[in-house]
C-alpha cells in the first residue's frame, strides 16, 4: 500500500478494515467516530476517491494509493483546502476536521474552493457535532473568517493555535499514540435491566492465549463513588462500584478483560459465563416513586450514599415556595397550565470515551484520557484506588468534543485498576480502553429526560402573579449529576422571571435505564422548554407580543434571583444585556419577515409561524470552581502559560492566549500553552459550565498581570519572569440568550422547515467574535437536533437507536443559517469584561421552535423531539377555532 506517497509494507489481517490497518501503521490522521460508515472521521482518499476507511476492507487498498489528511500538504505548505479550513476557522474540537479536509480535497478546484452542484449531498458522509457547519460551508466556499495575529489581538477573530495541526491531522488526540506494546481492555456488559450475579465463571476466558487479566466484582475496590465529577465529590451520590454484583441497567459493566489485541479481548469477553438472578425492574419514572415499585438502590443507606429517599427511588429533591402561589393564581386575570416532556439525547461527541494508563519510571500511575476534568479524575482515582493524590497523574491531549459528557469518569477507573493489577502480578504494561459508538449510545450517560408541569398566572397587564412548577427528572440507574442538573435546571429558568409567588417541587428519580448525566445546558434546556412555552401561551391570552411579555416580567439589575426560597448565594448582575437581546431578535424577525428567503417553498400548504424564547445562565456553577495558572515570560520574549483546563472545542486555548497577549502586549504567536495536565498547575476544577473563559481565564489574566507588574517594577527581563494567578469562581454573574425562529410546517406531511433563525447573546466583551459565533451556531445546531428529531429510544430498557444512523445527529443539509447577534455589555466580574458563552446557546432553541409551531398551526407541541410524525399527529388536531388562533 502507498500511504501518503510512502510504500508501507505489511499484510492486512483477514477481514481487517482499512482504518485499523492505517492506525496500526501509525497513521493517526485517520480517526474513529463510529466504525460504521456514518461519520466520516476516518475518511481517506483511495486512488483519489474519498472513502470511509472503517468500512473499506484493507485488502482492497493493497497495491493502491491511500491519502490521509497528513499527506495533503507540500511540506510546510498547506494544501489549498487545508488553508481554506484554517482561514475560515472551520473547526472547534477538530476531531472531524481531517475527514472533512480529505473529502473536500476530492471535490475542490485548484484554489481549494468546492463548487459542486449539491454540496450538502456531497458531504452527507461527514458529520460535525461542534460547529453547526456554517464555518465549514465558509471553508468550502473559500470565505475567510479569521484574521492574522499581531499585537492588539484581543477582541479580534484570531485563529486557534492548533489550526494548522488539525487540518494536517497531526494534532494528537487522546489515543493518537503508538499501538505497540499496549494491552486492550474490553467490557462484558449486562443483558438484563436488573439482576444479581449469582456466579461468574472466567476460567475459559483466562485460559485463552493472549488474555492477560480478567476483573470481576470480586477483584475491585469496595469503595462506592459516582461517575460524575464536581469540585466537591459530595455533590453526587456514592451509589456505584467499579464492577458490582448487582446490575441496574442493560449494558452495565459486568467484567473487564485485558488482552493483547482488541479482538482477543472481545473473544475473551464472549467466553465469560454469568449466572444471573433476574430481578424486577422499574423503567418508568412516573412509576418509580409508587409504593411497591422495585427499588434501584434500596440496599443503600441514604446518609452514607447521599441519596434523598432510596425507599422511594428519589435521589434528589427540592420543594419550596415563596409568597402565596394559591393566592397569586386565584387573583390572576390570565392562567395557563400544561405538561411538557423532553427526551433522552446523547452528546455524540465524535471522539468516543477512551483512556490509556501506565506506570511511569517512578512507578506513578499515569492516565491519559479524554476528559474535561483531569484534576477531578485524578482526585477520584486516588480516592477509589486508595492512592496518594501525588501518586496519580492525569493528562489530556486535545479532547474530541465533550458537551458535558466528559465531566464523567467512565473509563479511567477500570483502566487504572488494570494497570495496577498487572504491575502487582509482575507483568506491568500500558492498558487502553476505547468505547465503541454502540457503547456510547447504550452505556454512557445522556441528557436527563424530564416531565415538567407548569402553571402560570398573570394580571390584566400580563405581569406574572404566580409560577408553579412540578418537575420529574429521570436519572436512570445511577445518580451522577442528578442533583446538580435538577437544581440548575430549575434555577436560572425560574429565577429569570420576577414574580412574588413561586412554588417549585422537583424530584430526580432512579429507574433501571441507562444513566443520565451532564449535558450542555445542564437541565436548563428541559425546564426552559416548558416555562417558555407556557409564557408564550400566556402572552397570547394577554394579547402581548413574545418580546413584550418577557420585557414585563424578566429580572432586571436590583432584583434577586429567586426560585422557591429566599435568594441566597453569590449570583449577581455583573452586567445586563437581556433587554438588548430581546430588542435584537424582535427587530431581526421583523426586518426579515418579507424577504424572499424567509418564505416557505411553493407548491404545498405550508403554515408559517414565528417564535421566541429567552434564557439566563450563571457564568460559573455554584459552590466553588477553582483554577490557578502560571505565566512565564522568557528572555526571548516568548511566553508560556500553564493552566489546568483542557481544550475540547470550547475555544479556551485561543481565549487564554488572547488574554495573555493583551495583558503583556505581545503577539499571540509568542504565547504557548501547557494545559490539561495535573502536573502543569496546582488545581483546575475543569472546563464545564463554560468556565474555561471566566474562571481559568481570570486566573490566566491575573498571572499575566503579575508578570507585567514585575517587569514594570524592574524585574530582570534577561531572566524568566513568572507570575501566578488564581480564581475561585465567586461572585458569579449572569449571561443571556434570546432565540427567534420563523418556521414553515406542512400539516399534510408534518415536515418543518426553519426559514429564519436568529440568536442574540449577552456574552459581555467578545474576546473572539468568530469563535463565539461558532459556539452559538454549534449550540443552536444541537438545539435544533433535540428539538426536531434526536432521541434515544429504549424498549424494555434496551437502547434501540444504538448507531449514528439510527439516532441521527444533524448533517450539513439539516442545519439552517443562524444569524448571531451580540449585545454590547461589559461584565465587571469577567476577564476584561467577558462572560462565558458556550453551553447556553442550546437552551432557548427548542421552546422558540415550539412557539413558532404553535404560531403556525394554532396548536401547541408539548413533547420533544417535535419529530415529523408527532407534528403530523398534532396537525390532525387542528380545528376551525385553532385555525383562527394561528
Ligand atoms: Fe468511519 Fe465513522 S469512523 S465513518
Ligand atoms: Fe467537528 Fe468537533 S469540530 S466534531
Ligand 1 site, residue 437, Cβ cutoff 6 A: no
Distance (angstroms) between ligand 1 centre and the Cα of 438 equals 13
Cell numbers for 590 = 421583523
By the 8 A CB rule, do 282 and 288 touch?
A: yes
Which ligand minimizes its atom distance to the CA of 20? 1
Q: What is the pLDDT of residue 451?
A: 98
What does the alpha-carbon distance between residue 675 and residue 366 come to, in Å, rounded to a whole number?
16
Q: How far is CA 321 from CA 326, 504, 566, in A?
A: 11, 7, 9
What is the C-alpha R_g of the chain? 27
Distance (angstroms) between ligand 2 centre and the Cα of 400 equals 7
By the 8 A CB rule, do 89 and 162 touch?
A: no
Which ligand minimizes its atom distance to the CA of 55? 1
Maximum CA pair distance of the chain?
82
Strands 183-189 and 431-434: parallel
pLDDT digits (tens, 9 = 90+) for 345-378: 999 999 999 999 999 999 999 999 999 999 999 9
Query: pLDDT band at 648, cuts 50/70/90?
Result: confident
Q: Is the pLDDT of residue 152 over 80?
A: no
What does the alpha-carbon distance between residue 691 and residue 645 come to, in Å, rounded to a whole number?
9
Rounded to an integer, the average pLDDT of 849-867 is 98
By the 8 A CB rule, do 139 and 84 touch?
A: yes
Q: Is the pLDDT of residue 622 over 90?
A: no
**CA nearest ligand 1 atom 4, residue:** 37
By the 8 A CB rule, do 665 and 495 touch?
A: no
Least confident of 151-155, 273-277, 432-436: 151-155
Ligand 1 site, residue 33, Cβ cutoff 6 A: yes
> Which of 30, 41, 44, 169 is the best mutation target for the ligand 1 pocket, counting ligand atoms within 8 Å of the beta carbon and taking the most?
41
Q: What is the pLDDT of residue 563?
A: 95
DSSP 834: B
Ligand 1 site, residue 532, Cβ cutoff 6 A: no
Q: What is the pLDDT of residue 216?
A: 98
Q: Is the pLDDT of residue 151 over 70?
A: no
Ligand 1 site, residue 400, Cβ cutoff 6 A: no
Ligand 1 site, residue 41, Cβ cutoff 6 A: yes
Rounded to an integer, the average pLDDT of 95-121 is 94
By the 8 A CB rule, do 547 and 701 touch?
A: no
Q: How far is CA 722 from CA 359, 663, 672, 709, 713, in A?
A: 31, 14, 14, 11, 13
Helical axes 524-542 vs 845-857, angle rounded to 10°: 30
Ligand 1 site, residue 39, Cβ cutoff 6 A: yes
Report the half-sphere exposure of 360 (CA within 13 A, side-chain side). Answer: 12
Ligand 1 site, residue 34, Cβ cutoff 6 A: yes
> Which of 33, 126, 807 is the best mutation target for the ligand 1 pocket, counting ligand atoms within 8 Å of the beta carbon and taking the most?
33
Q: What is the pLDDT of residue 886?
A: 67
Scanning the structure block, which residue is given the C-alpha cell 459552590? Answer: 623
> Which of 30, 52, 173, 350 is the best mutation target for the ligand 1 pocket, counting ligand atoms within 8 Å of the beta carbon and taking the most?
52
Which ligand minimizes its atom distance to the CA of 90? 2
Which ligand minimizes its atom distance to the CA of 94? 2
Distance (angstroms) between ligand 1 centre and the Cα of 125 equals 9
| 19 Cα nearest atom in ligand 1 | 1
Least confident of 178-187, 237-246, 331-340: 178-187
Mean residue pLDDT across the chain: 95
Q: What is the pLDDT of residue 107?
A: 95
Q: Is the pLDDT of residue 650 over 80?
A: no
pLDDT digits (tens, 9 = 90+) for 795-848: 999 999 999 999 999 999 999 999 999 999 999 999 889 998 888 999 999 999
Q: Is the pLDDT of residue 288 over 90?
A: yes
Q: Is the pLDDT of residue 880 over 80?
A: no
pLDDT digits (tens, 9 = 90+) for 233-257: 999 999 999 999 999 999 999 999 9
What does the alpha-carbon distance between residue 694 and residue 714 come to, in Å, rounded to a whole number?
30
Rounded to an integer, the average pLDDT of 710-719 is 94
Q: Is the pLDDT of residue 853 over 90?
A: yes
User: Closest Cα to residue 194, out of 259, 131, 251?
Assistant: 251
Whether the full predicted model's pTM is greater than 0.85, yes or no, is yes
Q: What is the pLDDT of residue 344?
A: 97
End-to-end Cα, the chain, rounded Å: 63
What does the alpha-carbon distance between residue 628 and residue 705 come to, in Å, rounded to a whole number?
14
Torsion sign over Cα 636, 641, 642, 646: negative
Q: Is the pLDDT of residue 792 over 70?
A: yes
Query: pLDDT band at 322, cuts 50/70/90?
Result: very high
Q: Is the pLDDT of residue 102 over 90?
A: yes
> Which of 20, 37, 129 is the best mutation target for the ligand 1 pocket, counting ligand atoms within 8 Å of the beta carbon and taking the most?
37
| 129 Cα nearest atom in ligand 2 | 4
SS3 label, residue 107? helix
Scanning the structure block, which residue is given the C-alpha cell 475518511? Answer: 43
By the 8 A CB rule, do 700 and 659 touch?
A: yes
User: Closest Cα to residue 617, out of 847, 840, 842?
Assistant: 840
Which ligand minimizes its atom distance to the CA of 803? 1
Q: What is the DSSP string of 158-196?
A: BPPTTHHHHHHT-S-BTT-S--TT-EEEEEEE-SSSSEE
pLDDT digits (tens, 9 = 90+) for 546-575: 999 999 999 999 999 999 998 878 999 999
SS3 label, residue 503? strand
Q: What is the pLDDT of residue 237?
A: 98
Distance (angstroms) between ligand 1 centre and the Cα of 321 equals 51
Pocket of ligand 2 (CB under 6 A): 91-96, 128-131, 350, 401, 649
Rounded to an integer, the average pLDDT of 729-753 is 96
Cell numbers for 727 = 480564581
Query: pLDDT band at 626, cuts 50/70/90?
Result: confident
Q: What is the DSSP string of 256-311?
A: EEEESSHHHHHHHHHT-EEEEEE------HHHHTSTTPPPSSTTS-HHHHT-SBGG
What does the alpha-carbon distance between residue 311 and residue 295 come to, in Å, rounded to a whole number?
7
Q: What is the pLDDT of residue 606?
A: 96
Which ligand minimizes its atom distance to the CA of 23? 1
By the 8 A CB rule, do 241 and 165 touch?
A: no
Rounded to an integer, the average pLDDT of 301-315 is 97
> Which of 29, 30, 34 is the best mutation target for the ligand 1 pocket, counting ligand atoms within 8 Å of the beta carbon and taking the most?
34
Which ligand minimizes its atom distance to the CA of 810? 2
Cell numbers for 662 = 493583551
Ligand 1 site, residue 521, Cβ cutoff 6 A: no
Rounded to an integer, the average pLDDT of 588-603 is 94
Q: What is the pLDDT of residue 160?
A: 85
Distance (angstroms) between ligand 2 centre and the Cα of 498 equals 39
Q: What is the pLDDT of residue 84?
A: 97
DSSP 122: H
780: left (phi over 0), alpha (psi -120 to 50) or beta: alpha
Cell numbers for 519 = 449535558
pLDDT digits (tens, 9 = 90+) for 407-451: 999 999 999 999 999 999 999 999 999 999 999 999 999 999 999
Q: Is the pLDDT of residue 589 over 70?
A: yes
Residues 6+ apart with CB under 8 A from 164: 78, 82, 86
pLDDT digits (tens, 9 = 90+) for 663-708: 999 998 899 988 888 987 777 787 776 677 888 889 999 999 999 9
φ, ψ of residue 571 to 5 degrees: the values are -85, 120
What does the alpha-carbon distance between residue 289 and residue 293 come to, in Å, rounded to a whole number?
7
CB environment 715-732: b (16+ within 10 A), e (fewer): beeeeebbbbbbbebbeb
Distance (angstroms) between ligand 1 centre and the Cα of 171 equals 18
Q: What is the pLDDT of residue 557?
A: 97
By the 8 A CB rule, do 473 and 318 touch?
A: no
Q: Is the pLDDT of residue 625 over 90?
A: no
> Which of 103, 136, 401 is the best mutation target for the ligand 2 pocket, counting ligand atoms within 8 Å of the beta carbon and taking the most?
401
| 55 Cα nearest atom in ligand 1 | 1
Instruction: Give the helix ranges, DSSP H, for 362-503.
Output: 374-385, 412-424, 437-443, 482-495
Q: Is the pLDDT of residue 148 over 80?
A: no
Ligand 1 site, residue 54, Cβ cutoff 6 A: yes
Torsion sign over Cα 198, 203, 208, 211: positive
What does the alpha-carbon distance between residue 431 and residue 812 come to, in Å, rounded to a whole number?
37
**CA nearest ligand 2 atom 2, residue:** 93
Q: What is the pLDDT of residue 179?
A: 83
Distance (angstroms) between ligand 1 centre and the Cα of 35 equals 5
Q: What is the pLDDT of residue 603?
A: 83
Ligand 1 site, residue 607, Cβ cutoff 6 A: no
What does the alpha-carbon distance between residue 845 and residue 58 come to, in Å, rounded to a whole number?
43
The fraction of the chain above a pLDDT of 70, given in percent, is 99
Q: What is the pLDDT of residue 690?
A: 62
SS3 label, residue 761? strand
By the 8 A CB rule, do 167 and 101 touch?
A: yes
What does the alpha-carbon distance between residue 244 and residue 652 come to, in Å, rounded to a whole number?
38
Distance (angstroms) between ligand 2 centre and the Cα of 130 equals 4
Distance (angstroms) between ligand 2 centre and the Cα of 351 equals 9
Cell numbers for 138 = 465558509
What does the alpha-carbon distance between residue 882 and residue 886 come to, in Å, rounded to a whole number?
6
By the 8 A CB rule, do 190 and 246 touch?
A: no
SS3 label, residue 67? strand
β-strand partners of 17: 57
Instruction: Give the helix ranges, DSSP H, for 386-481.
Output: 412-424, 437-443
Amino acid at each position: 500500500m502507498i500511504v501518503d506517497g510512502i510504500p508501507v509494507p505489511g499484510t492486512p489481517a483477514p477481514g481487517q478494515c482499512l482504518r485499523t490497518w492505517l492506525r496500526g501503521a501509525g497513521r493517526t490522521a485517520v480517526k474513529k467516530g463510529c466504525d460504521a460508515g456514518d461519520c466520516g472521521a476516518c475518511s481517506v482518499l483511495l486512488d483519489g476517491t474519498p472513502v470511509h476507511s472503517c468500512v473499506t476492507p484493507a485488502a482492497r487498498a493493497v497495491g493502491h494509493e491511500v491519502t490521509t489528511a497528513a499527506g495533503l500538504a507540500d511540506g510546510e505548505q498547506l494544501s489549498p483546502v487545508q488553508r481554506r479550513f484554517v482561514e475560515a476557522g472551520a473547526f472547534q474540537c477538530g476531531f472531524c476536521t481531517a475527514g472533512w479536509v480529505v473529502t473536500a480535497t476530492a471535490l475542490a478546484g485548484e484554489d481549494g474552493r468546492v463548487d459542486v452542484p449539491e454540496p450538502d449531498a456531497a458531504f452527507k458522509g461527514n458529520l460535525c457535532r461542534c460547529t453547526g457547519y456554517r464555518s465549514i460551508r465558509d471553508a468550502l466556499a473559500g470565505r475567510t473568517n479569521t484574521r492574522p495575529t499581531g499585537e492588539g489581538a484581543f477582541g479580534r477573530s484570531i485563529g486557534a493555535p492548533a489550526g494548522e495541526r488539525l487540518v494536517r491531522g497531526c494534532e494528537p488526540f487522546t489515543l493518537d499514540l503508538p499501538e505497540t506494546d499496549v494491552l486492550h481492555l474490553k467490557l462484558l456488559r449486562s443483558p438484563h435491566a436488573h439482576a444479581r450475579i449469582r456466579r461468574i465463571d472466567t476460567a475459559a476466558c483466562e485460559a485463552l492465549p493472549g488474555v492477560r487479566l480478567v476483573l470481576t466484582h470480586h477483584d475491585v475496590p469496595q469503595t462506592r463513588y459516582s461517575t460524575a465529577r464536581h469540585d466537591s465529590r459530595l455533590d453526587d451520590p456514592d451509589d456505584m462500584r467499579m464492577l458490582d454484583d448487582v446490575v441496574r441497567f442493560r449494558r452495565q459493566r459486568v467484567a473487564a478483560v485485558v488482552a493483547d489485541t482488541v479482538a482477543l479481548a472481545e473473544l475473551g469477553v464472549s467466553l465469560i459465563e454469568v449466572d444471573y438472578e433476574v430481578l424486577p425492574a422499574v423503567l418508568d419514572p412516573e412509576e418509580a416513586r409508587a409504593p411497591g415499585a422495585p427499588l434501584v438502590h434500596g440496599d443503600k443507606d441514604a446518609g452514607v450514599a447521599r441519596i434523598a429517599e432510596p425507599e422511594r427511588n428519589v435521589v434528589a429533591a427540592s420543594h419550596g415556595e415563596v409568597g402565596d402561589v394559591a393566592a397569586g393564581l386565584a387573583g390572576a386575570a390570565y392562567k395557563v397550565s400544561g405538561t411538557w416532556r423532553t427526551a433522552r439525547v446523547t452528546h455524540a461527541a465524535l471522539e468516543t470515551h477512551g483512556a490509556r494508563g501506565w506506570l511511569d519510571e517512578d512507578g506513578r500511575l499515569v492516565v491519559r484520557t479524554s476528559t474535561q476534568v483531569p484534576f477531578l479524575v485524578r482526585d477520584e482515582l486516588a480516592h477509589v484506588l486508595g492512592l496518594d493524590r501525588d501518586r496519580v497523574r492525569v493528562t489530556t491531549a486535545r479532547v474530541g468534543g465533550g458537551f458535558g459528557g466528559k465531566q464523567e469518569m467512565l473509563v479511567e477507573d477500570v483502566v487504572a485498576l488494570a494497570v495496577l493489577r498487572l504491575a502487582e502480578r509482575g507483568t506491568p504494561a500500558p492498558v487502553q480502553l476505547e468505547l465503541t459508538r454502540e457503547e456510547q449510545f447504550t452505556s454512557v450517560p445522556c441528557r436527563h429526560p424530564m416531565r415538567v408541569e407548569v402553571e402560570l398566572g398573570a394580571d390584566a397587564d400580563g405581569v406574572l402573579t404566580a409560577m408553579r412548577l412540578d418537575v420529574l427528572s429521570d436519572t436512570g440507574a445511577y445518580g451522577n449529576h442528578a442533583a446538580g442538573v435538577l437544581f440548575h435546571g430549575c434555577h436560572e429558568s425560574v429565577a429569570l422571571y420576577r414574580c412574588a409567588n413561586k412554588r417549585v417541587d422537583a424530584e430526580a428519580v432512579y429507574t433501571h435505564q441507562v444513566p443520565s448525566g451532564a449535558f450542555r445546558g445542564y437541565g436548563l434546556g428541559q425546564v426552559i422548554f416548558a416555562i417558555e412555552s407556557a409564557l408564550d401561551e400566556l402572552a397570547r391570552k394577554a394579547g402581548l407580543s413574545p418580546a413584550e411579555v418577557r420585557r414585563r416580567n424578566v429580572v432586571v439589575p436590583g432584583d434577586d434571583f429567586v426560585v422557591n426560597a429566599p435568594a441566597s448565594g453569590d449570583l449577581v448582575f455583573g452586567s445586563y444585556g437581556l433587554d438588548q437581546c430581546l430588542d435584537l431578535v424582535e427587530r431581526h424577525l421583523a426586518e426579515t419577515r418579507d424577504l424572499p428567503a424567509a418564505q416557505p417553498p411553493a407548491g404545498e400548504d405550508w403554515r408559517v409561524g414565528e417564535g421566541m424564547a429567552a434564557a439566563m445562565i450563571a457564568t460559573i456553577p455554584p459552590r466553588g470552581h477553582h483554577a490557578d495558572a502560571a505565566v512565564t515570560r522568557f528572555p526571548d520574549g516568548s511566553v508560556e502559560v500553564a493552566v489546568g483546563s483542557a481544550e475540547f472545542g470550547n475555544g479556551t486555548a485561543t481565549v487564554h492566549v488572547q488574554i495573555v497577549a493583551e495583558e503583556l502586549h505581545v503577539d499571540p504567536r509568542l504565547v504557548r500553552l501547557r494545559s490539561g495536565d495535573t502536573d502543569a498547575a496546582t488545581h483546575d476544577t475543569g472546563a464545564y459550565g463554560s468556565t474555561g473563559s471566566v474562571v481559568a481565564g481570570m486566573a490566566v489574566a491575573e498571572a499575566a498581570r503579575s508578570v507585567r507588574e514585575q517587569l514594570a517594577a524592574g524585574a530582570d527581563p534577561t531572566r524568566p519572569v513568572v507570575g501566578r494567578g488564581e480564581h475561585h469562581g465567586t461572585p458569579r454573574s449572569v449571561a443571556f440568550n434570546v432565540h427567534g425562529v420563523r418556521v414553515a410546517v406542512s400539516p399534510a406531511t408534518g415536515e418543518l422547515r426553519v426559514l429564519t433563525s436568529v440568536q442574540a447573546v449577552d456574552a459581555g466583551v467578545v474576546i473572539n467574535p468568530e469563535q463565539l459565533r461558532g459556539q452559538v451556531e454549534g449550540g443552536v445546531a444541537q438545539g435544533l437536533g433535540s428539538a426536531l428529531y434526536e432521541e434515544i429510544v429504549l424498549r424494555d430498557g434496551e437502547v434501540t437507536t444504538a448507531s449514528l444512523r439510527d439516532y441521527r445527529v444533524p448533517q450539513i443539509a439539516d442545519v439552517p443559517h443562524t444569524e448571531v447577534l451580540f449585545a454590547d455589555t461589559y461584565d465587571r466580574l469577567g476577564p476584561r469584561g467577558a462572560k462565558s458563552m458556550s453551553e447556553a446557546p442550546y437552551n432557548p432553541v427548542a421552546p422558540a421552535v415550539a412557539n413558532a409551531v404553535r404560531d403556525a398551526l394554532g396548536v401547541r407541541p408539548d413533547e420533544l423531539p417535535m419529530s415529523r410524525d408527532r407534528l403530523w399527529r398534532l396537525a390532525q388536531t387542528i380545528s376551525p377555532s385553532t385555525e383562527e388562533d394561528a
